[in-house]
Amino acid sequence: MNTELLSTIQSPADLKKLSIEALPKLANEIRHAICEQVKKSGGHLAPNLGVVELMIALHYVFDFSSDRLLFDVGHQCYTHKLLTGRQELLGKLRQRGGMSGFPSPDESPFDLFSVGHAGTAISTAVGMARGDTLNGESYEPTTNNDGRRVVAFVGDASIVNGVAMEGLNNAGTLKRQFLVVLNDNNMSIANPQGAIADYFDHLRVGSTYRSMKKAAKNVMGKLPGGSMLEDMTHRMTEMMKDAIFEDSWFEHFGLLSVGPVDGHDLPSLIEMLVEVRDVDRPLLLHAHTVKGKGFEYTEQNATKFHSPKPFDVKNTSVEMQPSGRSFTSAFADSLCDLMLHDEKVVAATAAMPGGTGIDSALEKFPNRVWDTGICESHTMDMLAGMAKTGCKPFFAVYSTFLQRAFDQAFQEVALQGLPVRLCLDRSGVVGGDGAVHHGFCDIALLRVLPNAVLMAAIDEPTLKSSMTFMASYNDGLTALRYPRDTVREHAPDCPSFVLGKAHQLRKSASSKLAILGYGTTAIDALNAADRVDETAIDVYDARFAKPVDGELIERLLTNGTPIITVEEHSIIGGFGSAVLEEAARRNLDTTLITSLGLPDHWIGHGSRAEQLAQTGIDAAGIAAVASRILSSIETEAPFVVTK
């Protein structure tokens, strides 16, 4: 693909030098550049293909070296990055030293927030708008024409998120320029859910839908004086607004509303943005786009190509890079098996049916499984209500999104003693998505809840066994964590889960050291023991972070056996902290305990293997610590953790 235009764009200033007639060619070059790279590295493909024209138009009209651009659902930022001087980073997309898949202030001042969760852009944009006003830096049509304008870019159905609603409610109170660009692609990550999504469907197919150019001319022609910029908010009557923006749901929040309009018509997009850029009150531009725009296979299956693994296109067929069986697939099969044998089991996810694997259960049991859309708080409360009626609810959710519903886990689940079951996919480090998606704090969050039971799977048999335990446990909240990884085989035996009891994976000859691995780190601990001295190291699958196996801890420490705890979770507040607290509660020698986990700093994007090695919780890192402890035992010297 010829990229003669794209290669000339090192900043938005270069973009502005191009004629409007040249921009569709640039859009095609950007699409091909993004697609070719995602084929190699994986990444968010369909969302970025759908916003190319919108991003070009925004950067063509606004000056985001001064104006503010806030992203919602930050995975739609690739075109923005290519237009702001980061083309050389694209070749290592989502890899260490390359381009992050999300906005990142560390990369560029054009990125204002590191953001990967939905619903945040409007609220942070309101905050920047208020701050700029207080600082005397905001755009004012008569007193500060060079001041900062504010744009919130919202897409992939995140407008239905509760936080977005709160942001809209406050945006309408602003007395200054404020633009919300709604990228309405009729999609979330999967199909959109709920009444608001139905409203948008009605709006797109109803009489209010018009082309961008027609909308612009219609608006301009009906305004007094013929200019949207001249006395718009003061002279437009309610009747005129209703005629131009009929059925506008957003006007109830206090925002003028334009659209829906064609989000792929570059000349008309630019024409409209020039007109709305200087409106001195909150306004929403509703743009309709096609998710996956530009390639037949992405347009026809935007969900599959939302965030694909590396793939290849041969003739008309698409071949995904092969990979092993994932924990997500293992969970999906286990859930379906539970639902088949127990009609009380129900399940839900918040806009992630494919990502969590719950889509297979949704297909087989459509009356007992729900995708609620991007609303984790609602999902948690809905399942609490179902638990109150005697159902056995399972909530399939990424660990990083669980924290959005912590208040509900506290108030409506744990405080009530209700048995809602949390299945935490993507727990631990997540590879290319980086810091915005690492599942590093779920243990710390949930461990404070009285009577909560926290578990981790090390392989498919333990995942199945733990889910069976969860289905039969009715005394309160339970949670199971597992990583974004393939399932590894380690041993054929898997005894049933017993509350608060670890399972010994290896008994050594001399038992000089014990490693308690929580989750898949237990398998890495086995490999570490092989590297160091399998005759001296006992290895345990800890299974529970709450309650921990206090009897095992007491037995080991009473015998003077040093313990290494290993977890793919923050070292603060995690499984290791729980072991230390239990030892202290029993008046045992806590100096014999060494805790390994994720450090107290952010971990950048890269491969999972690199991230685990970087944090010292892979087999090599565990082996290094185990070797030093055994050496200190042999020399009778005190061991001090230096990592």
Annotated active-site residue in 107, 271, 376, 567 = 376
pLDDT for 311: 83
Let me know if 376 is a catalytic residue: yes
Backbone angles phi, psi at 590, to 5 degrees: -75, -10
Strand order in the sheet with 256-262: 68-71, 150-155, 178-184, 282-288, 256-262
Query: Hey, is 108 helix, strand or coil?
Result: coil
pLDDT of 636 reads 63
Does residue 373 contact residue 402 with C-beta atoms inside 8 Å?
no
pLDDT along the chain (643 residues), means of 10: 84 96 95 92 89 96 96 91 94 91 92 90 95 96 94 85 90 95 73 51 41 43 39 35 51 88 94 94 94 81 80 78 89 97 97 93 96 93 97 97 96 97 97 93 97 97 97 97 91 88 96 97 96 95 98 97 98 98 98 97 94 96 97 68 44
d(CA 544, CA 526) in angstroms, rounded, equals 18
- The DSSP result for 559-581, as a single string, is TT--EEEEEEEESSSSHHHHHHH
How many CA atoms does the CB half-sphere of 549 hold within 13 Å? 22
Maximum separation of any 2 CA atoms in the chain, in Å = 91
Give the burial string for 40-71 (b: 16+ CB within 10 Å, else e).
Answer: ebbbbbbbbbbbbbbbbbbbbbbebeebbbbb
Let me know if 291 is a catalytic residue: yes
pLDDT, residue 489, reads 80
Neighbours of 504 (CB within 10 A): 11
Of 94, 291, 368, 484, the active-site residue reads 291
Taking the CA atoms of residue 234, residue 236, residue 242 and residue 247 in that order, the dihedral angle to the nearest 10 degrees is -50
Q: Does CATH number 1.20.272.10 belong to domain 327-481?
A: no
Judged on CB neighbours under 10 Å (0-12, 13-18, 19+), 202 is exposed
When computed from its CA atoms, the radius of gyration of the chain, rounded to whole angstroms, is 27
Measure the CA–CA gap between 270 and 246, rounded to whole angstroms: 23
Residue 292 contacts residue 46 (beta carbons within 8 Å): yes
Per DSSP, the residues of 496-551 read PP-TT--EEEE--SS--EEEEEETTHHHHHHHHHHHH-TTTEEEEE--EEES--HH
Beta strands in 391-506 (DSSP E): 392-398, 421-425, 453-456, 478-481, 503-506
CATH topology of domain 57-76+88-293: Rossmann fold (3.40.50)
Burial string for 286-325 (b: 16+ CB within 10 Å, else e) reads: bbbbbbbbbbebbbeebbbbbbbeebeeeeeebeeeeeee
pLDDT value of residue 250 = 83
Written out in words, the top-level CATH class of the domain with range 503-635 is alpha beta
39 is catalytic: no
Residue with tokens 């060619």: 25
Amino acid letter for position 332: A
From-to residues of CATH 3.40.50.920 in the chain: 503-635
Give just the sign of the alpha carbon dihedral 319, 320, 326, 330: negative
Question: How many beta carbons lie within 10 A of that of residue 476, not counting itself?
Answer: 18
The single-letter code of the amino acid at 24 is P
Cβ-based neighbours of 300, under 8 Å, separated by 6 or more: 292
Domain with CATH 3.40.50.970 in the chain: 57-76+88-293, 327-481
Q: Which two tokens mark 591?
A: 């100096």
In 10 A of CB 589, how many CB atoms? 12
Q: pLDDT value at position 323?
A: 78
Task: Report whether 501 contacts 550 (CB < 8 A).
Answer: no
Residues in the chain: 643
Q: Is 336 exposed, middle or buried (0-12, 13-18, 19+ CB in 10 A)?
A: buried
Could you tell me the two tokens for 189? 């990550």
Under DSSP, the state recorded for 441 is: S
Pairwise CA distance, residues 104 & 77, whole Å: 10
Could you tell me which of 556, 600, 554 has the C-alpha nearest to residue 574?
600
Cβ burial of 639 (10 Å; 0-12, 13-18, 19+) is middle
Where would I find the H helices in 62-138? Answer: 78-82, 121-134
Backbone angles phi and psi of 381, in degrees to 5: -70, -40
- Token couple for 513: 């050291």
Question: How many C-beta atoms lie closer than 10 Å to residue 521's C-beta?
Answer: 32
**Set 148, 176, 404, 464: catalytic member:** 404
Of 214, 215, 232, nearest to 223 by C-alpha is: 232
Residue 460 CA neighbour count, 13 Å, CB half? 17
